[in-house]
Amino acid sequence: MEDLDKEKVVVIYNDVTNWWYHYYSDSENAKLKTLAPSCLKLSRRKLTPDFGDFVYEYGICHPQIGQSVTPGKSIVLLKTTAIHVDPQTNETVKMPFVVGYFRVSKVNEHEELIYMDPSESLLLLGDPIKLDQCLAKTLFLDKHEGYWDDPQLFVRRIGSTLRNRMARPHEVEIIVREICSRFEKGALNYLENNYKELSRC
């Protein structure tokens, strides 16, 4: 796969449906004290999405995504939750991360597949965006003041907020801009061959 053009400006369309998508990571099996790309790959118990071949089988989960996206325009933001051991406290830590996005290239309604556009998709498992309280306040303007302040409820509230959530244009813009910035600064894109290599670990 050719690298995404690092000078390319990603166009965000306001007249289409974009989505947040949560996938289950393999971090619960990793038990690592440092957050590594292997923590953030798709759980071995899950079948989709296939980041190695740029395809997401929406018939298995979230069929509403496949039924509402516009090929060539819609963007899906990729989020997961990492579980790792804090080396200072030795406690298990659970934290949401935004790891990338993909542009919908085409939809196969018969086989219920979404194909990702290789030239406009990024998966930064080595440099994900930590979805903390500060970022949540910036992204999710529909939540009242103080909604994100309780650290004990934060991860649960992120999960409920993003369940079946269409991504609003400003949310897409903020995330895509930051993902592209990290890629331009040298973060590795883990789609296709890099993901296949990681999956063999």
Of the candidates 133, 118, 138, 135, the residue with the CA atom closest to the CA atom of residue 189: 118
pLDDT in the model for residue 2? 43
pLDDT in the model for residue 1? 42
Of the candidates 112, 118, 123, the residue with the CA atom closest to the CA atom of residue 62: 112
Q: Is 80 exceeded by the pLDDT of residue 3?
A: no
pLDDT in the model for residue 40? 92
Kindly report the average pLDDT of the chain as a whole number: 91
pLDDT in the model for residue 8? 63
Q: Is 80 exceeded by the pLDDT of residue 28?
A: no
Between strands 18-22 and 166-167, the pairing is antiparallel
**How far apart are alpha carbons 180 and 176 in whole angstroms?**
6
